[in-house]
């Protein structure tokens, strides 16, 4: 007989644990089912460990280039094993925070593999043996995504990694690393290992890196990566992996003209994307509508089965932890009959265009962050715009820190001067983009954004300078 709950959540990643905590605060009886550890992929094998290692590798990189600041050292080295232990501690601390919040809110967490059945029932093969059934007035699927594997010849050879396995590597064997893919995971790993003096090569099948990103940002990113000594091959594909005399080699084939090239690869990271984790999720007595490999949902994140919702990477177009968390909050507020406190897009007063307010962040060096519309996309949607640009080489904080590469670009609707988008490539971009997301969400104009005083010296001054530059320009 199934145990009854108001909300049954499958998956304890950012979407799942956020939904659970929100449900508990509304007084709903909730259970979370997780096959592995609280925090899901993001906390245990994704965002948090990646950023921890990026932080550690950046410290080593900074120490290698500290002489200009008058800091000298006779010898600088890194211990990859210690870096991994530091990463594990960061992950453990974050995960324990989630577990403590669950305990405080009396949220039950069940360890086991979930199978969705009809009538909003979930069957769980418990990790310590046996089976149990849970029935909810609502079920939220938040199982996330797993790495995509390209089954080319040689893909199963030792030395070919996915991002999950690479994050868990205990010893250093990455003097040379070839990365298949040019998305967020690829460029962040390229930055990480380049910081540790690895010879990194990126092979991307699209014509430029970070394909959804606008061409200007992509070109600047590629320029920065190459400046760091990272080789970038776009519009090309790794079609075969060979092992010759104990050494891995890649066959890189141009997508259009040109002959295939054999290149020594060292270790290989397959970072060509992630797919929804639905492998063993559905029982024989239920069938949810799928679209493009993802669970299809309506505007309320409800699946084809009434009362069953899907959030995060398993269904969302944008695979980001904060998108999953926002969707989880939205669904629980709907279940609880509460007013919605989150939005993923807005239509400002007097404007007919929906503006995305979800920040996209890439933790390269310099960092990249975007929100809303680019100039090109705004024009395609029929908006007349004026754009403000500020180069960080003129920013006092950048001059002090020696991080003068990068820029801030703001896009305003020309008639009302309402902010509609921003693209940043500069230090602390991922921290500053929240200001622009808030401004777009509230329909602020350039004048209203200028009311706030920005401290000197800060990177944030660049936003004020970009606003001023935009207002001096003729609309286009």
Domain-located, residue 154? no
What's the CATH code of the domain at 186? 3.50.50.60
Are 399 and 460 part of one and the same domain? Answer: yes
Instruction: Give the Cα separation of 209 and 182 in Å (integer).
Output: 5
pLDDT at 304: 96
pTM for this predicted structure: 0.92
pLDDT at 473: 85
Are 43 and 142 part of one and the same domain? Answer: yes
Query: Which among 319, 364, 333, 12 has a CA at the least distance from the CA of 186?
Result: 364
Are 258 and 298 part of one and the same domain? Answer: no
Scan for tokens 């054999």, then name that residue.
262
Instruction: Give the Cα separation of 289 and 300 in Å (integer).
Output: 15
Instruction: Give the Cα separation of 424 and 389 in Å (integer).
Output: 10
Are 378 and 397 part of one and the same domain? Answer: yes
Residue that wins the pLDDT comparison between 7 and 76: 7
Q: Is the pLDDT of residue 258 over 90?
A: no
Least confident of 31-40, 101-110, 272-281: 272-281
Assess whether the previous peptide bond of 205 is cis (omega < 30° from 0): no
pLDDT tens for 138-182 read 999 999 999 988 899 999 999 999 998 999 898 899 999 999 999
Residue 277's CB is within 10 A of a number of other CB atoms, namely 21
pLDDT at 404: 86
pLDDT at 106: 94
pLDDT tens for 106-126 read 999 999 999 999 999 999 999
Domain-located, residue 295? yes
Alpha helices in 26-139 (DSSP H): 40-45, 47-64, 80-104
* Residue 50: band (very low, low, confident or very high) from pLDDT cuts 50, 70, 90: very high
pLDDT tens for 278-297 read 988 999 999 999 998 999 99
Instruction: Give the Cα separation of 379 and 443 in Å (integer).
Output: 19
Q: Is the pLDDT of residue 64 over 90?
A: no
Q: CA-based angle 387:392:393, to the nearest 5? A: 125
Mean pLDDT within 304-317: 94
27: left (phi over 0), alpha (psi -120 to 50) or beta: left
Instruction: Give the Cα separation of 232 and 182 in Å (integer).
Output: 9
Query: Which among 148, 39, 30 has a CA at the least distance from the CA of 90?
Result: 39
pLDDT at 344: 87
Residue 20's CB is within 10 A of a number of other CB atoms, namely 30
Q: Is the pLDDT of residue 274 over 80?
A: yes
Chain mean pLDDT for the chain: 93
Beta-bridge mates of residue 33: 10, 110
Q: Is the pLDDT of residue 92 over 90?
A: yes
Q: Where are the beta strands (DSSP E) in 189-230?
A: 199-204
Are 32 and 136 part of one and the same domain? Answer: yes
What's the CATH code of the domain at 386? 3.30.390.30
The residue out of 250, 272, 294 marking a domain boundary is 272
Domain-located, residue 344? no
| Residue 344, burial from CB neighbour count under 10 angstroms (0-12, 13-18, 19+) | middle
The residue out of 257, 272, 287 marking a domain boundary is 272
| Residue 423, burial from CB neighbour count under 10 angstroms (0-12, 13-18, 19+) | buried
pLDDT tens for 366-375 read 999 999 999 9
pLDDT at 425: 95
Are 190 and 228 part of one and the same domain? Answer: yes
* Residue 203: band (very low, low, confident or very high) from pLDDT cuts 50, 70, 90: very high
Domain-located, residue 152? no
pLDDT at 74: 81
Are 263 and 280 part of one and the same domain? Answer: no
H/E segment holding residue 28: none
Are 296 and 199 part of one and the same domain? Answer: no
pLDDT tens for 386-427 read 999 999 999 999 999 988 889 999 999 999 999 999 999 999
The residue out of 251, 272, 293 marking a domain boundary is 272
CB 22, CB 9: distance < 8 Å: no
Domain count, the chain: 3
Are 208 and 284 part of one and the same domain? Answer: no
Domain-located, residue 90? yes
Domain-located, residue 153? no
Domain-located, residue 105? yes
Bridge pairing between strands 121-126 and 108-117: antiparallel
H/E segment holding residue 335: helix 321-336
Assess whether the previous peptide bond of 133 is cis (omega < 30° from 0): no
Are 425 and 321 part of one and the same domain? Answer: no
Contacts of 184-188 with C-beta under 8 Å, sequence gap 24+, read: 184/210, 184/362, 185/50, 185/271, 185/274, 186/269, 186/271, 187/221, 187/225, 187/362, 187/364, 188/50, 188/54, 188/362, 188/363, 188/364
Residue 47's CB is within 10 A of a number of other CB atoms, namely 22
299 CB-near residues (< 8 Å, 6+ apart): none
Are 16 and 125 part of one and the same domain? Answer: yes
Q: Is the pLDDT of residue 253 over 80?
A: yes
Bridge pairing between strands 176-180 and 267-270: parallel
Range of the domain at 174: 160-272
Mean pLDDT within 210-223: 85
Domain-located, residue 253? yes
pLDDT at 96: 97
pLDDT at 15: 96
* Residue 318: band (very low, low, confident or very high) from pLDDT cuts 50, 70, 90: confident
Bridge pairing between strands 176-180 and 199-204: parallel
13 CB-near residues (< 8 Å, 6+ apart): 39, 40, 41, 42, 43, 142, 144, 312, 321, 324
Q: Is the pLDDT of residue 212 over 80?
A: no
Are 280 and 131 part of one and the same domain? Answer: yes
Mean pLDDT within 371-384: 93
pLDDT tens for 340-370 read 998 888 988 778 899 999 999 999 989 999 9
Q: CA-based angle 212:297:305, to the nearest 5? A: 160
């Amino acid at each position: 007989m199934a145990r009854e709950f108001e909300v049954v959540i499958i998956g304890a990643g950012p979407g799942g644990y956020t939904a659970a905590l929100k449900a508990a605060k509304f007084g709903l009886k909730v259970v979370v089912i997780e096959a592995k550890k609280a925090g899901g992929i993001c906390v245990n094998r994704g965002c948090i460990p990646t950023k921890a290692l990026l932080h550690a590798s950046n410290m080593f990189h900074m120490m290698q280039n500290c002489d200009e600041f008058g800091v000298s050292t006779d010898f600088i080295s890194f211990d990859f094993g210690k870096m991994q232990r530091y990463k594990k501690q960061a992950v453990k601390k974050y995960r324990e925070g989630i577990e403590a919040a669950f305990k405080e809110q009396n949220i039950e967490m069940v360890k086991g593999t979930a199978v969705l059945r009809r009538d909003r029932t979930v069957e769980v093969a418990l990790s310590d043996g046996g089976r149990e059934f849970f029935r909810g007035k609502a079920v939220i699927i938040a199982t996330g995504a797993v790495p995509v594997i390209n089954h080319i010849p040689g893909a199963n050879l030792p030395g070919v990694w996915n991002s999950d396995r690479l994050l868990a590597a205990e010893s250093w064997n990455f003097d040379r690393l070839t990365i298949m893919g040019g998305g967020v995971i690829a460029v962040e790993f390229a930055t990480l290992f380049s910081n540790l003096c690895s010879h990194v090569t990126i092979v991307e099948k699209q014509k430029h890196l970070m394909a959804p990103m606008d061409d200007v940002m992509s070109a600047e990113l590629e320029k920065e990566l190459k400046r760091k000594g990272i080789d970038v091959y776009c519009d090309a594909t790794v079609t075969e992996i060979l092992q010759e005399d104990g050494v891995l080699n890649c066959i890189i084939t141009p997508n259009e003209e040109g002959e295939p090239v054999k290149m020594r690869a060292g270790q290989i990271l397959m970072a060509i994307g992630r797919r929804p984790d639905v492998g063993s999720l559905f029982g024989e007595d239920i069938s949810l509508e799928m679209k493009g490999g993802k669970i299809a949902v309506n505007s309320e994140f409800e699946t084809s089965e009434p009362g069953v919702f899907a959030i995060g990477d398993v269904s969302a177009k944008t695979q980001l932890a904060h998108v999953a968390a926002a969707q989880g909050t939205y669904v629980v507020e709907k279940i609880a009959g509460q007013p919605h406190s989150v939005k993923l897009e807005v239509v400002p007063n007097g404007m007919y265009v929906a503006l995305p307010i979800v920040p996209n962040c890439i933790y390269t060096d310099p960092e990249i962050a975007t929100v809303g519309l680019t100039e090109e996309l705004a024009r395609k949607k029929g908006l007349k715009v004026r754009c403000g640009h500020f180069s960080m080489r003129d920013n006092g904080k950048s001059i002090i820190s020696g991080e003068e590469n990068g820029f801030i670009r703001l896009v305003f609707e020309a008639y009302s001067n309402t902010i509609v988008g921003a693209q940043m490539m500069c230090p602390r971009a991922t921290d500053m983009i929240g200001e622009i997301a808030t401004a777009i969400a509230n329909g602020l104009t350039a004048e209203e954004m200028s009311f706030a005083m920005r401290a000197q010296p800060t990177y944030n001054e660049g936003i004020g300078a970009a606003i001023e530059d935009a207002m001096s320009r003729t609309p286009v």
